[in-house]
Amino acid sequence: MITKVLNILLIYTGGTIGMVKDYKTNALKAFNFNQIKDKIPELQLLDCKIQTISFDTPIDSSNMCPKYWVKLADIIEEHYHKIDGFVVLTGTDTMSYTASAISFMFENLNKPVIFTGSQLPIGDLRTDAKENLITAIQIAATQKAGLPKIGEVGLYFEYKLYRANRTTKISAEQFEAFDSPNYPPLAESGVHLLFNEGALKKVETSKKLIVRKKFDAKIVILKLYPGIDKHIVKGILEIPNLEGVILETYGAGNAPTFTWFTKLLAHVIDKKIPVVNVTQCISGSVIQGHYETSVHLNNLGVISGKDITTESAVAKLKYLLGQKIPSNEFKAVFEKPLRGEIS
């Protein structure tokens, strides 16, 4: 029996993982991923063929935006039918935003798209890049009964594979930089690579891939804090051409009951601008109406983000606004899980 050699496409958009130190100058410079097996010879032990594509100009994660999300989606779509799995290397600071956005753009995805990166450059003595990259490629190349083990967008970092749109960056210094507070890991890497069968999305090959690349950028995050000023809130909610608001509330979705605050939110919602309620807490869920301080949000028609992360809420709101969904349907669509991003 002839075993099929799987094709994995490695896409480098930018970020720390793709940098190496010039030991003559101590400056960091971009790494040539065409030479990846020379730098990481362990990759030759993987039973797959690795191809590489790099953005012409590496994008720092702080500069990542929908324009580059679409560029990344174009690459994946172009190679989708001849590649068995994708590994995307990008900067960690906005990785959860980017990976979440890609998850929404690809409907009926049935191949692995695994995001990873590192806290230290690939050429650093103590780098975490090698393990993250090797295991991400191994995961992308894992199949069972001729089908990919992973059929969704994942994020692999420091021995754990997460559903990408459930992740948030929790540390700027520790190798364990990401967490998925409200959904268990899809896989864990130790002596063995163990998949959490109950958490995995079922791979379906019968539906045709649909890629949607329209995003709306005119949204704002309004984070509440004690003593927030009326004029600040008013200024934010009256930004010209505003099309969406993510409201970061307290606890289980609670917000001030001041008359001025309620009126300002009502004015926004009356203009058919969706307002999404997400919690400031690292874990847990918005439960609108559970406390008196969120009943008024329910009455106003504020959208419950449930247990969605802020990063995923940003990507989902931009994505849905780009689809021009009628305002009378928007709340119901947002509150429904599209790619496993909410429970």
Alpha-carbon span 234 to 255, nearest angstrom: 15
Task: Report the chain's C-alpha Rg in angstroms.
Answer: 21
Could you tell me whether strands 275-279 and 160-163 are parallel, antiparallel, or unpaired per DSSP bridges? unpaired
* Residue reference for tokens 């998925």: 180
State the catalytic residues.
16
Backbone CA torsion sign across 109, 193, 307, 310: negative
How high is the pLDDT of residue 2?
52
Q: Which residues of the chain have pLDDT under 50?
A: 1
Encoded tokens for 52: 């590489």
Q: Which two tokens stand for residue 218?
A: 């005119």
Spatial contact of 101 and 318, defined as CB atoms under 8 Å apart: yes
Predicted pLDDT at 1 = 44
Q: Strands 160-163, 187-189: parallel, antiparallel or unpaired by DSSP?
A: antiparallel
Q: How far is residue 55 from each of residues 94, 111, 178, 210, 333, measured CA to CA in Å?
A: 17, 22, 24, 24, 34
Tell me the C-alpha distance between 89 and 79, whole Å: 16
User: How many CB atoms are closer than 10 A to CB 251?
Assistant: 16
Thinking of the domain 6-211, which architecture would CATH place it in? 3-Layer(aba) Sandwich (3.40)
Question: Hey, how many other C-beta atoms are within 10 angstroms of the C-beta on 299?
Answer: 12
Written as six digits, the tokens of 1 are 């029996």
Can you give the residue ranges of every domain in the chain? 6-211, 219-334
Cα 77 to Cα 160: distance, rounded to the nearest angstrom: 26
The whole-angstrom separation of Cα 337 and Cα 340 is: 5
Which tokens hold the place of 95? 């990785």
Condensed to tens digits (0 to 9), the pLDDT of residues 32-53 reads: 777 777 778 888 888 899 999 9
pLDDT in tens, 198-220: 999 998 889 999 999 999 779 99
Give the C-alpha separation, 233 to 247, whole Å: 11
Question: In whole angstroms, what is the distance from residue 29 CA to residue 50 CA?
Answer: 22
What does the block give as tokens for 11? 């896409």
Of residues 71, 31, 36, the one with CA closest to residue 50: 36
Strands (E), the chain: 6-12, 19-22, 27-30, 48-54, 85-89, 106-107, 113-116, 143-144, 147-148, 153-157, 160-163, 168-169, 178-179, 187-189, 193-195, 210-211, 219-223, 244-249, 275-279, 303-304
One-letter amino acid of 158: E
CATH number for the domain formed by residue range(s) 219-334: 3.40.50.40
114, 135 contact by CB (below 8 A)? no
Q: Which two tokens stand for residue 321?
A: 């606004």
Pairwise CA distance, residues 212 & 94, whole Å:
21
| Token pair 């003595």 in the structure block, residue | 125
Closest CA to 174 of 92, 235, 230, 105: 92
Check if 6-211 and 219-334 are the same fold: yes
Tokens coding 78: 């172009």
CB 62 within 8 A of CB 36: no
